[in-house]
A and B are shown apart, each in its own frame.
Chain A
Amino acid sequence: MPSMSAISPTKPSRSAASMSTLLDFRSVAMRFPNGTVALSGIDLTVNRGEFVTVVGPSGCGKSTLLRIASGLETASEGTAEVDTKRIGYVFQDATLLPWRTVQDNVELLAELTGMKPKERQVRAQEAIELVGLGGFEKNLPKELSGGMKMRTSLARSLTLEPELFLFDEPFGALDEITRERLNDELLRLFVEKQFAGLFITHSVSEAVYLSTRVVVMSGRPGSIVGTFDVPFPMPRDPDIRFTAEFAELVGEVSHALREGHS
């Protein structure tokens, strides 16, 4: 785990503003043993109530950012503080266990944390309903479409009631229609469950549509080249994607992305 400051909100040394900070990266750098520098000088915070999206070209270290946040990797420089233990992590692929039914897959994480069978069953059932998979509890992953697999994966993380949800390009492999539908579902869950999100993608319009803040990264070594606040209110109207303001913001982010890339 990265240096976890598991400080209770009442601890006096923390200001009111930082109390709502769930993730705090300060000049984080990542250098792998083989010499490649994946990240350098990353300053990034995610507060409660925020949904932050990171866009950047492939190989710019976006995923490394998440891996550090989740504790799978440790930053080689700087401080990476995560102020909660309830972290949800959604992988690029659904990572379902093919021998388990939807119900049993959704129960998996709760099972690994040692939750009682009764309780995790109830939680899994709730999560399954929440992602719209009711009626598919007994199905095996191979009988599901790509979108349904992702929904199962989302439900699995939801059983942990995460405060911070990390998404590593979860919808990248899905077709556009499924992707848009899942974006809407994700926004609904964000509003309903009030987790903070850190979402990695390489789709600019997905980034703008989903988030309260867009962070633009450039590659080699990965660094932040721009940050954009997204002014559209939550819950978000799907039709917002066809407004001029939306298009303008997408244009600005794309521009920053291209500038950072050159």
Chain B
Amino acid sequence: MSTASLIESADTAADRAASPRRQDRLTRFYSRRSSQWWPPLLVFVILVGLWYLTALYYDKTVQLPYLIPYPHLVLTMFYGDPIFTPLLYADLFNTTQVALTGLACAIIIGVGWATLMSLAKWIERSLYPYAVILQCIPILALVPLIGSLFGYEFLSRVIVATIIAIFPLVSNTLFGLQSVDRSQRELFELQGAGRFTTLAKLRFPAAMPSIFLGLRNAAGLSVVGAIVGDLFFQRGTPGLGVLIQVANARLNGPGTFAAIIIASLLGITVFLFFGWLARVVVGKWYDFG
């Protein structure tokens, strides 16, 4: 791990020789690391086993095999079904497109909004309540309205994804921008640095870890938003949400499961990607817990 190598390089050779216990500790650290992969794998095997048993029960006893299909049938949907497989990937592409566009909008609007609020206390007092209200509106209640206002296609899907994803960006950016130490602010004040210089050279860099944490959560939410949009808007280029509904309606159990799984994988991928990006961009100076 990079942290370990950093500790290593910071210490001198003499230091290391002086503490043989340290070597032990490092060895233990690494063996603990390498033994970490099997417990989740074991759980995975157990879960798949349980899934088979449940599928067997639904197949033989309940006699409704499409409710809980066998795992291997679901797996074939990912590569072997002549009709479903291409549909799955086309819809994955569409959903990804909606989610990422929504996320991009949420970043621009959310970070901009928070920055504006951080510039003056009175702006914050005027605007923050609306961020909270936006968070409190049951978004599903708004979705039909968005559809009738903006159509039942791409634009409305993006708007839903944006609204669902925006709150963590607003709150995390604002928190980050305001978390700067008083003495650091005074350091800038003493040199006569203006509001915008302080924002660019102090507040923004200081807020980056917090913004990235917000971004990671927002990214996961944008996928949720894209699928929720699908459930309401069936026109235009449909995504995984539509696919899940259609497969379910046609009693295509394996297809339903495959679509749900790939939607989850999309959420996980986006979440991991932004976690990774955060480490690359600010991990050098900031330790994420």
A contact residues vs B (CB 8 Å cutoff): 70-72, 87, 89, 91-93, 95, 97-99, 108-109, 111-113, 140-143
Contact = CB atoms under 8 A, between A and B. Distances in A.
Categorize the interface residue count of chain B: 20 to 34
A142 B181 contact: no
Contact of B190 (A72, A92, A111): A72
B205 A112 contact: no
Nearest to A98: B285
A138 to B, nearest CB: 12
Interface in B162-206: 181, 183-184, 186-193, 197, 201-202, 205-206
A140 B193 contact: no
> What 8 pairs between A and B have smallest CB-CB spacing?
A112-B191, A91-B183, A99-B285, A98-B285, A95-B183, A112-B193, A99-B205, A95-B184
A113 B190 CA distance: 10
Contact of B183 (A87, A92, A99, A109): A92
29 contacts: A70-B190, A71-B190, A72-B189, A72-B190, A87-B190, A89-B187, A91-B186, A91-B187, A92-B183, A93-B181, A95-B181, A97-B184, A97-B202, A97-B205, A97-B206, A99-B206, A99-B282, A99-B284, A99-B285, A99-B286, A108-B201, A109-B191, A112-B193, A112-B197, A113-B191, A113-B192, A141-B285, A142-B285, A143-B10
Contacts of B285: 98-99, 140-142
Nearest to B189: A72
Most B CB within 10 A of own CB, among A71, A92, A108 = A108
A88 B286 CA distance: 28
B187 A95 contact: yes
Contacts of A72: 186, 189-190
A113 B194 CA distance: 11
Nearest to B284: A140
Contacts of B205: 97, 99
A113 B205 CA distance: 19
B183 A93 contact: yes
Interface string B144-156: 0000000000000
Interface SS of B by simple majority: helix
A143 B284 CA distance: 11
Given A93-B183, A97-B205, A112 B286 contact: no
A107 to B, nearest CB: 11
A72 B190 CA distance: 7
A261 to B, nearest CB: 27
A158 to B, nearest CB: 14
B106 to A, nearest CB: 25
Contacts of A143: 6, 10
Contacts of A87: 190
Given A89-B187, A98-B285, A108-B201, 20 more contacts: A72-B186, A72-B189, A72-B190, A89-B190, A91-B186, A91-B187, A93-B181, A93-B183, A95-B183, A95-B184, A97-B184, A97-B202, A99-B205, A99-B284, A108-B187, A111-B201, A112-B188, A140-B284, A141-B285, A143-B10
Contacts of B284: 99, 140
A149 to B, nearest CB: 13
Interface in B253-289: 282, 284-287
Nearest to A143: B10
